[in-house]
Amino acid sequence: MRASFLFTSPFTPESDLKTATITPASSKPTKSAKNSSPPTDQGHHRRKPKPKETLKQSQADKRIDFLLRQHFDDDPDFRPLILKLAEHDPTPKKKYLAWLVKHWTGPWNPSDADLKRVARHLETHHKGAKYFSPLSWTGLRLEDAGYHADIFRYTPQTLAKLGGRIAEIIRIDEEDKQIRKGNLVITGGAEIAYKDERWTVLRVRTQSALNRLGQGCGWCVCGRGGHGYSFPFDFVLSSDGERFLAHKGEIRDRWDNSPTANLYYEIFRVVNLGSDGYDRAVAQVEEAIKTKQRHTAEIENQLMQHPDLAIWYAEKVIQGRWQEFEEFVRVATLPAGHAADYAIYCLREPWPRFENKIKRSVVPLAQYRRAFPGAIPKTDEEIFQENLAHWRAYTAKARRPWSHDSIQWQAESRERNVDFENRLLLNYSEASIKRFAKLVASLATSEIASEYRSKIQSYFTEATDEKTQVVNDELGPVICGRICRRLPEVEALIADDPESSFAYAKGISQRFLDGEAAIRTEPELWCQYTKKFLRSTPIPRQQSNHSPRVLPPRTYKVAWR
Same domain, 313 and 411: no
451 and 502, same domain (yes or no) = yes
Do 147 and 241 belong together in one domain?
no
How many whole angstroms separate alpha carbon 305 and alpha carbon 284? 13
1 or 477, greater pLDDT: 477
The answer to whether residues 480 and 521 belong to one domain is yes
Identify whether residues 407 and 367 lie together within a single domain: no
On whether both 272 and 288 belong to a single domain, the answer is: no
pLDDT for the residue numbered 168: 65
Q: Which of 202-216, 261-275, 331-345, 448-462 holds the top average pLDDT? A: 331-345
CB of 457 closer than 8 Å to CB of 392 = yes
Q: How many domains does the chain have?
A: 4
Lowest mean per-residue pLDDT among 278-282, 443-447, 455-459, 475-479 = 443-447
Domain end, chosen from 316, 345, 371, is at 371
294: pLDDT strictly greater than 90:
yes
- SS3 for 235? strand
Query: What percent of the chain stands above pLDDT 90?
Result: 13
Residue 44 lies in a domain: no
Q: Is the residue at 548 inside a domain?
A: no
- Count CB atoms within 10 A of the CB of residue 215: 15
Lowest mean pLDDT across 291-305, 383-397, 431-445, 491-505: 431-445
Distance CA 156, CA 36 (A): 56
Determine which of 61-75, 144-158, 357-371, 520-534 has the lowest per-residue pLDDT on average.
144-158
The torsion region of residue 226 among left (phi > 0), alpha (psi -120 to 50) and beta comes to left
Quick check: is 557 in a domain?
no
User: Of the ranges 191-200, 307-316, 394-403, which is most confident?
Assistant: 307-316
pLDDT at 547: 41
**Residue 213 is assigned to a structural domain of this protein:** yes
For the chain, the average pLDDT equals 70
Q: How far apart are CA 174 and CA 196, in angstroms?
A: 25
**Does residue 209 lie within any of the structural domains?**
yes
Nearest to 136 by CA among 106, 172, 163: 172
Q: Does residue 421 sit in the same domain as residue 534?
A: yes
Answer yes or no: is 300 within a domain: yes
Mean pLDDT of 36-50: 57
| Element spanning 18, H or E | helix 14-21
Q: Reply yes or no on whether the pLDDT at 427 is more than 70.
A: no
Helical H runs in 402-495?
Answer: 407-413, 418-427, 430-442, 452-459, 466-483, 488-494
pLDDT value at residue 21: 35
pLDDT of residue 141: 57
What is the arithmetic mean of pLDDT over 33-47?
54
Domain boundary among 179, 194, 212: 179
Secondary structure, 3-state, 361-406: CHHHHHHHHHHCCCCCCCCHHHHHHHHHHHHHHCCHHHHCCCCCCC
Confirm whether 251 is domain-assigned: yes
Between these two residues, 499 and 49, which has the higher pLDDT value? 499
- 427 & 477 share domain: yes
- Residue 302 and residue 438 in one domain: no
Q: Please tell me the distance from the alpha carbon of residue 220 to that of residue 227, in angstroms, as a whole number.
A: 7
pLDDT > 90? residue 310: yes
In this prediction, residue 221 carries a pLDDT of: 84
pLDDT higher for 145 or 80? Answer: 80
Cβ atoms within 10 Å of 467's Cβ, excluding its own: 10
The pLDDT of residue 13? 41
| Mean pLDDT within 66-72 | 83
Distance separating alpha carbons of residues 507 and 357, to the nearest angstrom = 37
Residue 451 has pLDDT above 60, yes or no: no
Does residue 24 lie within any of the structural domains?
Answer: no
138 and 144 in contact (C-beta within 8 Å)? no
**Could you tell me the pTM of the whole model?**
0.37
Count of Cβ atoms closer than 10 Å to residue 443 Cβ: 23
Strand order in the sheet with 199-204: 190-195, 199-204, 233-238, 243-247, 250-253
Same domain for 205 and 148: no
Q: What is the DSSP letter of 28?
A: -
Q: Which of 84-88, 186-190, 429-433, 481-485 has the highest mean pLDDT?
A: 84-88
Name the H helices within 292-373: 297-303, 307-313, 323-328, 336-342, 355-358, 362-371
Higher pLDDT: 305 or 135? It is: 305
Task: Report whether 325 contacts 304 (CB < 8 A).
Answer: yes
DSSP assignments along 193-208, one per residue:
EEE-SSEEEEEE-SHH
Which of 235-239, 327-331, 447-451 is predicted with the least confidence, judged by mean pLDDT? 447-451
Question: In terms of Cα–Cα distance, which of 309, 306, 267 is closest to 285?
Answer: 309
pLDDT at 18: 31
Q: Are residues 476 and 517 in the same domain?
A: yes
Q: How confident is the model at residue 411 (pLDDT cuts 50, 70, 90)?
A: very low
- 138-172 b/e (C-beta count within 10 Å ≥ 16 → b): bebebeeeebeeebeebebeebeebbebbbebbeb
Give 317-355 pLDDT, tens digit per residue. 999 999 999 999 988 888 899 999 999 999 999 999 999
Q: Give the residue, 532 or 396, on which the prediction is more confident.
A: 532
DSSP 318: I
Tell me which residue range forms the domain holding 204: 182-276
Angle between helices 430-442 and 418-427 (to 10 degrees): 160
101 — pLDDT class (breaks 50, 70, 90): confident
Q: Examine the domain organization and report whether 447 and 533 are in the same domain.
A: yes
